[in-house]
Structure 1
Amino acid sequence: MPLNAPLTEDFVRTLAPDEASFKAASEISQSSRLQNLGTSSDGTWMLGEFTGMGPAPYKLSADFHIPNQPVLQSTSPSRYHPDKYTLGMLLKYAHNPDSFGVKSPSIELLARREKVLAAEERKKGVFAKKGGKKDEEKKQLLRLEALEAANHMLVDLAAKGNWFSENRAEQFEKLCKQLNEASLPSLAAQFKRVALVGKEKGLKDPEKNLLGASALANCEAVLKKTIHFLGTDTSKPSEEDYLLEQFLDMHWSISDLKARGYGKTDLSLFELAYERLDDEGRATRMEVSNLLDLNTGELHQSVAYRPFKGLTPIPEQVSYTTPIHVPDAVLYPGSLNRRVRWEKNSETTGVSSSEALEATYGHAIPEFEPVIDEFRSQLEKPFAPTEAVLLLRCAKLGKVNDKVVVEDSNGGRLELRDRRKDYSHLFNFKRAAAMLRSESPALLVRLAVSGKQIIAYPLAMITPKHHLKIGV
């Protein structure tokens, strides 16, 4: 019986703790010591054994009851998880599924799965019981007190200045804590950014004052916007619905979003790039799967927000190695790159990767200027996202003086840059460009503003036959 999830070498690579483990797993996948291989009749288990150095073979198992998040177990003494033996078993299946027979999991493995499922159900029950009128009244009181404290801080800073003294740093920290406890994350993040400017080393006082003034202006703007949302009837659909989570920490359920008219059915999605972005102001990691709607050509984002102090309890955003079909989903309001959500594990394998690549290349935008104008229009809206991901068709790729640029068929240009100091997307872009230059590739980029210039960070390069991800 085949597995209930597609299994590829690229997917197994994402599970490996490091490259050395993946290479060792590749060798093990070809070893005759990997034996007694099988999958369960319902396609949710993969089982096997490896004859190691001990008296008994290592027992290997992979639980695929969540298709894209297998639970891997091994009795080997390896300190790595997952170990090279289990990864080797997965690679064996990816390369030669016919070598696997039918095999049933042990009672112990089934009991372990039941224990995990029971814990998840209990967690859902606890979350369902939270809330109520008294809780909402208490939250409202906390918000009013926090907003008053924020307004007082702004007035005091405008009157007395002295933004970056040690005493001010303590006040900022106390206020940010109060705002977060009142479920006002965006306002807390803005004040924290003021504090971060104060701590920035290497900045002279005039530069600190300039950056601090800009950050404080943002604090005032976000404060006004937050008060606006608190006085708005949030039960009715609004173009600003997508900002409610940002400003008031109102986490919409999928059913709520459907009731507001944001439901979508039969989405055919293809992940073009996966990103991890850190927001120091919110102390949060944002993990983004950039997904192309193969029917419309729109680029959506499936997002996981994971606070630095609580990464482990919150699941990672899944990276989809094959095209997927989502029968029932919701799209947040917005213009470019609307957020997409659906019930966990409701997605299934979609069209073939070759078909998806051809469709993707066909959706690439041939001229830069019209879509950059659309991005400029988005920037003019208060509190709209200041970045956007686009798929552009490139006529030329190369360097102009010391700048790396791409050009469309009309001569429109975009400068490409590295986003991070510890990882070079441009280096990977140059390698990909050398491979695909003659094929007029499509380039997935993240647009951003640098000074008065719109620049782009390269994310992936696509042709009808190739898909090269440039980095995370």
Structure 2
Amino acid sequence: MYTEAVERLTTLHSLFRKSREYLTGRLNNPEAPMDTESTLEERIGHAWQLAELREYGLVQQDVELVQLAFHSYADEARGEFVDQGYWAGTGSDKVFATRTYRPYRAAKYIKEEDSVFHVVQAKELFIYPGELNPRIRWEEASYREPKPQDCAALKVQALRSVPDAVKLAKNQMKNPLSDKHPVLLLAFRDIAVQEGRYVLTDHQGKQLPLEDSGPIHEATTPLLPLLARDYLENQAMAVMFSHDKSRNRLSAKPLSVITDRDIVRLLF
């Protein structure tokens, strides 16, 4: 509890310092552009309008999206339900996130989101400022059945190196104001049990421990033994990184397995 408390105090201190510097700069120069590289604007209370995102070029046309994982949870501190999905877009190496916030007192008036197993064809994809997993939104979309080539395209986009993925995750996690649980697509040679724990091994032999860590309480590693062996060899996986400070250990939670023909979702 002490470690978590210190981490949250560090985040608050960093937010106070950076937001004061940023707002002072905007006050002195009202014509200065808004911060579109981080989530600072949102953290200090700005609600991005779609017109603003379009003005800053944070929009893509005719994008196809496949959902990799989905979960809902209750945020007691904020007094709201959150429906969160992770998505991969064809032609992009990023994993995007969608979030629907449903305050307790208004939950019955807001549609609850659910898992999506179709390919979403968004006419306009709005991308909120963010880092490895920026939040996205669309207003108009059509849906179609997924095809094997969709899965094969996503698998090709996966990172091929565990060290490269770890470097990306660590670079984001060390920033006090960044999401401490980034999600990445990672190709692997095999997934096996070593010394009683699951380990992902890339094609260079580098390894990443797989554990049920992080903010999502639903366990996914117990589902791995239920998969056929060919799903655990030469495929790709969406993983959520976490850093256990008590053990100074980086691990990843498996979210889904992507093959050349289908996606097996472990969290939906």
> Matched residues in 2 for 1:232 and 1:371: separation?
35
Counterpart of 1:427?
222
Counterpart of 2:110?
314
> Matched residues in 1 for 2:237 and 2:66: separation?
15
Rg comparison, structure with higher value = 1
Q: Is 2:9 aligned against 1:221?
A: no
Change (3 A) 1:278 1:395: farther
- Provide the TM-score with structure 1 as the length reference: 0.51
Change (3 A) 1:375 1:213: closer
> Matched residues in 1 for 2:199 and 2:137: separation?
34
Counterpart of 2:90?
294
Picking from 361, 381, 386, the partner of 2:175 is 381
On the 8 A contact 1:268/1:350 being kept in 2, the answer is no
On the 8 A contact 1:397/1:433 being kept in 2, the answer is no
Picking from 215, 234, 252, the partner of 2:48 is 252
Superposed CA RMSD in Å reads 2.6
SS of alignment partner, residue 108 of structure 2: coil
Query: 1:254: how far off?
Result: 0.9
> Matched residues in 2 for 1:318 and 1:410: separation?
37
Counterpart of 2:237?
443
Query: 1:408: how far off?
Result: 0.5
Matches within 5 A, 1:57-456: 208=2, 211-233=4-26, 236-240=33-37, 242-248=39-45, 250-343=46-139, 346-350=140-144, 352-419=146-213, 423-432=218-227, 434=229, 436-437=231-232, 439-451=233-245, 452-456=248-252
Change (3 A) 1:322 1:212: closer
> Matched residues in 2 for 1:447 and 1:395: separation?
19
Give the stretch that moved more between structures: 258-267 or 225-234.
225-234
Query: 1:260: how far off?
Result: 2.2
SS of alignment partner, residue 311 of structure 1: helix
Change (3 A) 1:350 1:294: farther
Q: How many residues align?
A: 261
Letter in 1 for 2:11: N
Query: 1:356: how far off?
Result: 0.9
- Provide the TM-score with structure 2 as the length reference: 0.85
On the 8 A contact 1:240/1:333 being kept in 2, the answer is yes
> Matched residues in 2 for 1:226 and 1:313: separation?
33
> Matched residues in 2 for 1:421 and 1:236: separation?
36
SS of alignment partner, residue 116 of structure 2: coil
Letter in 2 for 1:469: R
On the 8 A contact 1:254/1:341 being kept in 2, the answer is no
> Matched residues in 2 for 1:359 and 1:267: separation?
14
1:222-248, Cα deviation, whole Å (9 max, x unpaired):
333343444343872424453222222
Change (3 A) 1:310 1:418: farther
Change (3 A) 1:277 1:449: farther
Change (3 A) 1:323 1:402: same
Query: 1:311: how far off?
Result: 2.9
> Matched residues in 2 for 1:300 and 1:387: separation?
13
SS of alignment partner, residue 82 of structure 2: strand
Query: Which structure 1 segments of 5+ residues have no match?
Result: 1-196, 198-207
Query: 1:403: how far off?
Result: 1.6
> Matched residues in 1 for 2:7 and 2:216: separation?
24
> Matched residues in 2 for 1:297 and 1:213: separation?
34
Change (3 A) 1:265 1:304: same
Structure with greater proportional strand content: 2
On the 8 A contact 1:254/1:342 being kept in 2, the answer is no
Change (3 A) 1:329 1:232: farther
SS of alignment partner, residue 459 of structure 1: strand
> Matched residues in 1 for 2:198 and 2:161: separation?
18
Point out which structure has higher relative CO (alpha carbons under 8 A, 6+ apart). Answer: 2
Change (3 A) 1:279 1:456: farther
Letter in 2 for 1:381: N
1:74-110, Cα deviation, whole Å (9 max, x unpaired):
xxxxxxxxxxxxxxxxxxxxxxxxxxxxxxxxxxxxx
On the 8 A contact 1:241/1:333 being kept in 2, the answer is yes
SS of alignment partner, residue 251 of structure 1: coil
On the 8 A contact 1:322/1:353 being kept in 2, the answer is no
Change (3 A) 1:277 1:445: farther
Identity %: 21
Letter in 2 for 1:363: Q
Change (3 A) 1:351 1:265: farther
On the 8 A contact 2:37/2:131 being kept in 1, the answer is no
Query: 1:385: how far off?
Result: 1.3
